[in-house]
Amino acid sequence: MYWTLIKTGLIRKRIRTFLTIMSLFVAFLLYGSLQTFSSIFTGSVKGLSAQNLIVMPRYDMFGKLPISVAQYVESLDGVEDVMYFDYLMPIKLESMMDGVVFASSPNFFDIYTRFQAPDEAKQALKSTRSSTIVGKLMAEKKGIKIGDKLSFKSTSMNQDGSYNWSFDVVGFYTVTQLAGDEMAAIVNYESVDEARLSEKGTISMIMARIANPNMADSISDKVDDRFMNSSYATRTGPESMMAVEMASEVADIELIMTAILLSVFFTILLVSANTMSQSIRERTIEIGVLKCLGYKDRQLFVSVMLEATFLTFCATGLGLLGTLLLIPVVEQLSDGVLANTFNLELEIIFGGFILGLIVAFLAASVPAYQALTLRVVDALRED
């Protein structure tokens, strides 16, 4: 019975039904896309560890810390191992590098388990000071092979007075999340520090593996308190949180996204409610006739609510399907940098349908109530 009533309402004005679904579709496409792609802006990327603490300069993302900070962190209770690195920034236009070079302590891959490389390459990085392990994505883009020389100009001056740097490619690494992290190369910190003429003994970032994620706050506080009043104030926190914090310093993206979504849904809600009201007003006589035939007030109320729910669920499904189709497009447009980064998570799908249900309920409650309370004699008087 309900399906016949719903179908009757939907096909009564096909173009209006189509346009209503399309307007709702745009809203749900926006919802799905913002939820799915927001991690780029918010830094809330899955796969980042809560067991790795990052220690970095407090006031300048690309500032420097003395290597003694790493030694202090390593000495703290609860810290199992410490890795540190400095950025060797290539000058992009005169470089075979499009990414960054990490001049790292030898245990880079031991701590940063998101990065994976063959054992022999890791061994070579430790034993041969001129070696480098290159990100797979960059190697593919630049056609770099094992045995090649990775040469580039950097902003750091070499001991020969030039800005030229060169390393032997001993292997490639991959990452489990954020393919963009494969646009880099790992080199030996000691060899870089020895060779450069300035900023010797400094590092850009420390990553400490802690025994228990619950100790993250206390260790972070201890490190930051220790260097609070020095020239090298630090900022410490779990890897999974630091990215979010850093992104939020640019702007409260989460708030902006919520505001956009609320605005869109409020507008769509008004449009849908108006459309449903108009549709029910036009069906006054039909509703009266159905009541004559024995249809109960409650049944007609439910049928209007179900009709609105069907409309919004169609739009929700289409919007989420659109999001699903957008994912490979965005990944393609990013030239592989964002490959395997996005998923239409189950919670986003579930959230979309809950949102659809709320929109349907709010949009249809007044028209459904009108249908519920419509007196047959009044309805037929309009005949």
Partner 1 sequence: MINLIEVKEVSKIYNRGGETLVVLDGLSLEVPKGDFLALMGPSGSGKSTLLNLISGLDSPTSGSIIANGKHLEKMKSSALSDWRAGNVGFVFQFYNLLPVLNAKKNVELPLLLTNLSALKRKEHVATALNLVGLADRGDHKPSELSGGQQQRVAIARALVSDPDILVCDEPTGDLDRESATEILNLIQILNRDHGKTILMVTHDPVAAEFSKRTLYLDKGKLTH
Question: What is the rounded CA–CA span in Å between residue 240 and residue 43?
Answer: 8
Judged by beta carbon, residue 8 or residue 174, the one nearer partner 1 is: 8
Distance CA 308, CA 38 (A): 29
- With respect to partner 1, which residue has the nearer C-beta, 5 or 125? 5
DSSP, collapsed to helix, strand or coil, labels residue 65 as: strand
- Give the span between the Cα atoms of 201 and 194, in whole angstroms: 9
Residue 285 or 325 having the CB closest to partner 1: 285
Query: For residue 62, what is the DSSP state?
Result: T
Cα–Cα distance for residue pair 200/192, rounded to 1 Å: 9
Between CA 107 and CA 54 the distance in angstroms is: 15
In the complex, least distance from residue 369 CB atom to partner 1, rounded to whole angstroms: 15
Least distance CB 326 / partner 1 (angstroms): 35
Show the tokens assigned to 106.
């030898």
Q: Which is nearer to partner 1, 2 or 62 (CB)?
A: 2
Ramachandran class of 257: left when φ > 0, alpha when ψ lies in -120 to 50, beta otherwise: alpha
Token couple for 329: 């497009």
Residues that bind partner 1 (CB under 8 A): 1, 4, 8, 11-12, 285-286, 289-298, 375-377, 380, 383
Query: In the complex with partner 1, which residue's Cβ is closer, 9 or 90?
Result: 9
Contact 319, 29 (CB under 8 A): yes
Neighbours of 362 (CB within 10 A): 16
**DSSP string of 126-147?**
HH-TTEEEEEHHHHHHHT--TT
Q: Rounded distance, CA 61 to CA 54, Å?
A: 12
Q: Smaller CB distance to partner 1: residue 40 or 368?
A: 368
Nearer to partner 1 (CB atom), residue 13 or residue 142: 13
User: What is the spatial distance between Cα 301 and Cα 369, in angstroms, rounded to a whole number?
Assistant: 6
- What are 54's strand-pairing partners? 207, 237
Q: By C-alpha distance, which of 172, 156, 147, 179 is closest to 95?
A: 156
Residue number, 77 or 378, with CB nearest to partner 1:
378
Burial class (CB in 10 A: 0-12, 13-18, 19+), 254: middle
Residue 27 falls in which region: left (phi positive, over 0), alpha (psi -120 to 50) or beta: alpha
Cβ atoms of 82 and 74 within 8 Å: the answer is: yes
CB of residue 2 vs partner 1: minimum separation in angstroms? 9
Nearest approach in angstroms of CB 331 to partner 1 is: 44
List the one residue out of 138, 160, 352, 147 whose CA is nearest residue 261: 352
